[in-house]
Structures are given as structure tokens and as C-alpha cells.
Amino acid sequence: MNTNLFPRVFLKSKEEKEILQGFPWVFDNEISHFKHRNDEKSEWKNEELQECSVEDGKIVEVYTKAGGFLGTGVLNKKSKITVRIFDNQHADKICENLDFYWETKILNAYKMRSNYFAKEDSYRLVFAEADLIPGFICEHFCDEQGRVFLVVQFLSLSCEIFRKQILAALQKVCKPNGIFERSDLSVREKEGLPLVSGWIGREYETKITIIENGIKLDVDLLNGQKTGYFLDQKFNRQVAAKFCKGKRVLDTFTHTGAFGLNAAMAGAKEVISVDISPEAVEIVNHNIQMNHQKKVMKAVCADVFDLLKTYEAENKKFDVIILDPPAFTKSAKMIEKAYGGYKEINLRAMRLLTEGGILITCSCSYFMESSMFCDMIMHAAMDSHKKVQILEKRGAGPDHPVLLGYPKSEYLKCVVCRVI
């Protein structure tokens, strides 16, 4: 294919800096104009974004204002993110053999994870932009019978147009028993795509049991949050467990009870796992029973904010408290309110800890940056008249790599604190 046939997107002056640093998105307000032609004999046409006749889903090349090549991406004029860049090669090189190209990308992601995970492990196989496949998520689940199930999310047009090649590559590289699609997030609607959920090909039960850190956990592929289970905290759960032997542990926003079960299996004296969702508590109770931890661990259905206040009024004390809330904000506009929410639960948790107790506090909101999160912990400590030693600052596991230049990939903060 001739590279001259691919439409070209030219940026406004000085808009290339972030892309040169690794940022993979081009926003609509960064575009100067388009340049395209129908065939080699046609004249080049210059068009602004508002009048651009290039179809959505087309592969385009991105250039600086001066004409320097930046990368190849996919156009979607329906989205504020007008181009998602997926490679720094020219488009004609990529399109020589698309099947081979996507197989290589998936294989590279698989090989990197193989340094940390075995086939019988559950982990994130593809982390969207961080793995240079914008909008595409793939979880690798292995159940207790050794069957491999992939859960996929095509969340942008930039990966949707390569659906056939990506699925074929996953089949060839991973040889899964089944592939379940969870492209049911509202972000697809912003891309002009319908919501999709269900098995691709052969169907299985949607509830499976995985083993993580030696613990059995039920995963609901159909109804579980996002892809069914939060794999990003696996190694943080192991770290938390080290502090729990013989201790009283409060595990909040527990979801499946994974943090609490790691604590119980590590020899905790007592574990209380709390979630506001009755469905989540039902799953936690089942996971407690599967792992024979009923004598040590119990699940409580309650609003964590209210329960922390109640425990404080009752003068209850814990040796270890785990705070793993959902994102309190998904936009920069709400960060001040989110800061207040994080501060309140951390302040109250500090008041419930015994002298020298351990607080494992997390945030999965990209907008709550690490420095701001630590600032919040400091102010929570001030208001609770405590001192805090930070023992570790952690993030997601290596199956969630951070792409430099793309700060959204560094979303998870997990801070291990000693409160004195």
C-alpha cells in the first residue's frame, strides 16, 4: 500500500510536545487541518475538522504543523479524542500484513506478562493505551480447573475496527477455552458504538472460581464490576497480609472480600469485611465459606462512611485497616469533593487504629495524583492528631504497566502507613 493514500492529520503549532513524550491521543482542538486524496491521480484536499469528509474508523497519519511525522492512529470525529495513535510506524508498513501485526502486538504483551505470571494465574493481558492498543482491555482468567477464559473490552473505535485481527491473535497466542466480551461501558456510546456483552463463540457458565495468592475467589464475568474482578491489587493484597497475623483487621469497600481473605489466610485474629452492596456481601460470604474462614472472618453490609462513625462512637479498635474505595471522582472538576471524601475515611480510620496500627489506603482515581493523595493522608493525620510513617508507596502490578507520557496509566495508589 502507498503511504500517500492515507489521510494526514496536521496539528496546530506546538501541539506535538505531549505526543513526542508518548501521549497517544489527539484532541479535536489540537487539529489544524486534514490532507487527503482518493487515489494517486487525485489532487490533495485540505479540510478543517468541521468539514472533513474522511470517514470515521479510517487509519490516518499524524503530523506536526511543519510536516514532521508523529505516528499512525484511527480517526473518530464523533469523539473529543479525534485520533488515537497506536504506532509510530507509517501506516503503509503496518497495513502490509495486519494479521501478523496484531499477532505480534498480542504476543509481545503475553511475553512480558510471562515474566511475572504462569498460565494458571489470572492477570491483565492487555492494558489499552499502556500496551499501545488504545481502548482495548483483556483479562486472562484461569479457573480452578485450569481452563483459561479471556474477558475483552473494545472501548473505542480505534480497536473496534481491528476486532477480527485482535480476536484471532488472542486465540492463536493464548488458546483460551472461551472469550467473554464486556464492552458494556457507556464510554462506547461516546465513540458512537453500541453496548455489547456476551460470549464470543462457545458459551460457558459466566461464574468461575479463580485462585489468587492461594485463595479461592468467585468471579462473575457477566455481572461483576467492569471485567468481573479487580486484578490490579493482587500484589498489594499480599503485602497487606504480612501485617495481619494475630491482628484485628477491618477491610472496607471489600467487593469480593479479597483483601480480607488474604488477611484471614495469613493468620488474622478477626477480619470484618464491609461493602454497601448486598450482592457483593453475598459473594464475600460465599468466598469466606469456600476458604473455610467462617471462624475468623465475617461480611457486613453497610455504608463505610456511616460504619466508621459508628465504630468510633463505640470506641472500637483495629490493628489493621484497609481502605480500597471506588474512584470518588472521574473528572478533574470533582477533585475537591473527592479529596474531602478520601480525607474523611482516612481520618476516621486513623482514629480507630491501635497505637502503631497499620493503614493500607488506596485510590484508583487518576485525578487524585500521588502527591495530592499523600497530602490528603498528612492532613487527615493532622486532624486526627496522629503521626504517620509511610512504609511503602505502591501501585498496580506489572500486568498494568505505566506508559511514560500517558499519566492515566498510573491510576492506582496504595500507601502502606504506620499510624502513631
Residues marked active site are found at 364
Rounded-to-integer distance, Cα 220 and Cα 312, Å: 34
CB 25 within 8 A of CB 8: no
Rounded-to-integer distance, Cα 152 and Cα 154, Å: 7
Within 10 angstroms of residue 247's Cβ, the number of other Cβ atoms is 19
Within 10 angstroms of residue 341's Cβ, the number of other Cβ atoms is 16
Q: Are strands 215-220 and 413-419 parallel, antiparallel or unpaired?
A: unpaired
Helix (H, G, I), strand (E, B) or coil at 339: helix
Rounded-to-integer distance, Cα 194 and Cα 154, Å: 11
Pull the grid cell for residue 355. Answer: 497505637
Rounded-to-integer distance, Cα 254 and Cα 259, Å: 7
* Distant-in-sequence contacts of 370-375, Cβ < 8 A, 24+ apart: 370/410, 370/413, 372/335, 372/339, 373/342, 373/413, 373/415, 374/415
Rounded-to-integer distance, Cα 387 and Cα 377, Å: 10
Rounded-to-integer distance, Cα 236 and Cα 115, Å: 18
Burial pattern 120-150, b for ≥16 Cβ within 10 A else e, equals ebbbbbbbbbbbbbbbbbbbbbbbeeeebbb
Rounded-to-integer distance, Cα 354 and Cα 336, Å: 30
Rounded to the nearest 5°, which phi and psi values hold at 153? -135, 120
With cell 495486519, the residue in question is 98
Rounded-to-integer distance, Cα 186 and Cα 410, Å: 22
Helix (H, G, I), strand (E, B) or coil at 341: helix
Contacts of 183 (CB under 8 A, 6+ apart): 152, 153, 154, 155, 193, 195, 196, 197
